[in-house]
Amino acid sequence: MSAEEFIADVESGLVPVDCHEKVLRIAFIYLDEGLWDGNGVFDVVEKLHAHGWSFGEGELRFNRTLDIFYLAQLAAAIYRSSSQLEGDFPSPDDFQSFYTTHYALLHPSAWRTYYSTSFLTQPTTARFYRLPNLQDLPDSDSPLSLPRHRPPAHATKLPRWASTVARTRRRQPALPLATFTDIALGTLETTIARLRTSHPSVLPYSETQARFWLEYMGLGSGRFDSAKAPAGSREAWEPNSFGISVAQGAYDVYAWEGKYSAQLWKESGAGTGRGVVEPDVDGGWKSEVMWCGEPDGGVGMYAWCRGWEGEVGSEEEVEFLAAVAVEETVGVVAEVGELDLAVRSHVLLGAMRAAVETGREREAFLEELERGMAKTGRIGEDRVGRWLREALRVVEPYVSGWEGVWPDAAERKKVLRQILGENGQLFGRWKVPPLLGEFSFELGPREEA
């Protein structure tokens, strides 16, 4: 049966879609054009869901991350089949041979080598697309179309985390650098240790590796210090785009090879991972990665269409951002007059306080928050009301047990940390495609006085 006949039969209901292979074939046919148009895999997943099709079963059915993951795997296989776009593209009629050739990337259990079950079944992961937490998507550790064919690994994990840390420092320089760095290292260690309890093959926490990447991303040193960059710079306030930057050649995620031998780099995580190991390479190594420049010839768009950017960040990124937010609110009771409404964490604490109030008191509190937020210049007056009400919808279930009583500082801190850890979309650091229908919690830079 040709691809055209097959898709007509399944869309009409003549042929039941009752197995992984049929969903995969449908997705392969849709990607023939969909991979190069609009939002790529993000558009195609909506098309699958509109027909009631999903790669998941049971509690994983319509899991957005799982479904987009298989579309991203298909995209990787298509790139490989066409010699990274330099050869012939696989035809929609060639699905069976294509599936056989790339079975290792596409089979029903392939996701298990990329995602832990606990991460994949989190409500946030089911609702928003998140990148794998066990290893990188195929070829995504190299510039687009120029994969270096290294063994499967998670080479982007720490550089991506360090990039988020450095960008956050540029946006939120209020905390002392030492405190900020301690939060980053502490939350990284905690998340890696938690992951290793069920996946001991994951490399242990290494302070050597973490500090290397923080320095590489410009945290706290020299002219590349993110905290010293202009607070209103466009790059600092745009949604995270680390995967696109790797695709463009802006970062080499194997840059550590310029200072460390492979053996020492791996051994630096042995034991507790505490302490920094001194480099053992003379620095003569030269990266083979070159930035493609701007305009990038569509590289960024193609990386996005392949699913190299998530809609919510990794556990280590979200846990870090949550811990910073909680630290920023220490000692703040949440009266409108004491909240710095140019700071997201203060706004979210205010939303928690509003959720505890009822009736006229709630509306009055929200109105004061709206006026204060708009005055900072970080959000337009046309968005601020909805921003707060969408945030309110997220926090209300968490504070319902307080029964209208604003609790003590310890309880507030605990619940704020939980809310942010379980709702990474509140940080607005990741791009949300329009078709998803989710509200974007982005804010702009503080308006200079």
Contact by Cβ (8 Å): 124, 423: yes
CB contact set of 142 (below 8 Å; sequence gap of 6+): 148, 246, 289
pLDDT at 17 over 70: yes
Of the pLDDT bands very low, low, confident and very high (cuts 50, 70, 90), residue 223 is very low
Residue 13, classed as helix, strand or coil, is coil
Instruction: Work out the mean pLDDT of the chain and round it to a whole number.
Output: 92
Q: For the chain, give the percent of residues with pLDDT over 70.
A: 95
Q: What is the pLDDT of residue 149?
A: 86
Q: What is the pLDDT of residue 231?
A: 44
Q: What is the pLDDT of residue 222?
A: 39
> Which residue has better confidence, 85 or 331?
331
Q: What is the pLDDT of residue 233?
A: 60
User: Looking up tokens 């596409």, which residue turns up?
Assistant: 106
pLDDT at 128 over 80: yes
Q: What is the pLDDT of residue 232?
A: 47
Q: What are phi and psi of 52, to 5 degrees?
A: 85, 25
d(CA 86, CA 98): 17
The pLDDT tens digits for 301-322 are 999 999 999 999 999 999 999 9
pLDDT at 273 over 90: no
Of the pLDDT bands very low, low, confident and very high (cuts 50, 70, 90), residue 220 is confident
Query: Please, is 174 exposed, middle or buried when counting C-beta atoms within 10 Å of its C-beta (0-12, 13-18, 19+)?
Result: exposed
pLDDT at 177 over 80: yes
* Long-range contacts, stretch 9-14, CB < 8 angstroms, 24+ apart: 11/51
Contact by Cβ (8 Å): 60, 66: yes
pLDDT at 228 over 60: no
Q: 62-90 in b/e burial notation, b at 16+ Cβ within 10 A? A: bbbbbbbbbbbbbbbbbbbbeeeeeeeeb
Tokens of 420: 């942010």
CB contact set of 298 (below 8 Å; sequence gap of 6+): none
Q: Using CA of residue 396, residue 401, residue 407, residue 411, what is the dihedral sign?
A: negative
Of the pLDDT bands very low, low, confident and very high (cuts 50, 70, 90), residue 84 is confident
Helix (H) or strand (E) holding 377: none
Q: What is the pLDDT of residue 226?
A: 37
CA distances from 389 to 41, 177, 352, 361 (A): 30, 33, 11, 15
Q: What is the pLDDT of residue 126?
A: 98
Of the pLDDT bands very low, low, confident and very high (cuts 50, 70, 90), residue 194 is very high
Tokens of 349: 């604490």
Q: For the chain, give the percent of residues with pLDDT over 90.
A: 84
pLDDT at 5 over 50: yes
CA distances from 341 to 163, 172, 218, 313, 324 (A): 25, 13, 28, 24, 16
Contact by Cβ (8 Å): 48, 93: no
Of the pLDDT bands very low, low, confident and very high (cuts 50, 70, 90), residue 234 is low
- In this predicted structure, which of 99-113, 209-223, 240-254, 373-387 has the lowest mean pLDDT? 209-223
Tokens of 55: 């790669």
CA distances from 281 to 159, 269, 438 (A): 20, 18, 48
The whole-number average pLDDT for the span 159-166 is: 97
For residues 109, 54, 137, 125, the Cα torsion angle rounded to the nearest 10 degrees is: -100
Whether the model clears a pTM of 0.75, i.e. scores above it, the answer is yes
3-class secondary structure for 203-222? Answer: CCCCHHHHHHHHHHCCCCCH
Q: What is the pLDDT of residue 269?
A: 76
d(CA 27, CA 93): 13
Q: How many CB atoms lie within 10 A of CB 169?
A: 26
The whole-number average pLDDT for the span 2-26 is: 97
Read off the amino acid at residue 231. Answer: A
Polymer length in residues for the chain: 449
Of the pLDDT bands very low, low, confident and very high (cuts 50, 70, 90), residue 136 is very high
Q: Which of 266, 240, 262, 238 is nearest to 251 (CA)?
A: 240
